Amino acid sequence: MLEELPRFIDPKQLALQNAHLKGEVALAQFERLHDSLCEVQGTVKIEWTFAVDDKQHPTIQGSIQAQLPMLCQRCLQPLQWTMDTQVALVIFDNEPHPDEELLMEYEVIILNENPVSLWNLIEDEIILALPIIAKHDTCIANEYQLSAETLANNAGSNPFQILLELK
């Protein structure tokens, strides 16, 4: 177990060693993620285990946790989106020919270079886990919507009735 996360890793070597990485990386390190965030303060926590599966493929399993400062797309106010995602990756050197069972358990990644940027792997997983539309569970923008009762009362009325009365 490493106390400080390395910038670059050799996933195959770590898998052969049954290594366990646990640590934090600052959000400021993930440049591709900056456009999705309203600020880049905070950290991302990972806990990954590298192993070799029964068919001798190097794998990565674990979790990524973070509080991501994003903008609500309804009210455009900041929100803290809680991310707690699981990672299950199988690593191939070149174009894989995995069996169906392997694809059901793992997401396939192809790594052509060695060593690999651990931060890029983490950033890729964060980007894949981001919500399509970030929004509050209870948003202040919803306060201005008409209630269901008001809509039901007005459903049978003619919206142009007032114009008819003006004639």
136-156 pLDDT, tens digit each: 888 776 655 555 555 566 656
52-80 pLDDT, tens digit each: 988 888 899 999 999 999 998 888 888 89
**Phi, psi for residue 6 in degrees, rounded to 5:** -75, 155
**Per-residue pLDDT band at 2 (split at 50, 70, 90):** very low
The number of angstroms, rounded, from the C-alpha of 35 to the middle of its chain's C-alpha atoms is: 14
What does the pLDDT read at residue 64?
A: 95
Distance CA(144)–CA(104), nearest Å, equals 44
105 or 45, greater pLDDT = 45
Q: What percent of the chain shows pLDDT beyond 70?
A: 81
pTM metric for this prediction: 0.76
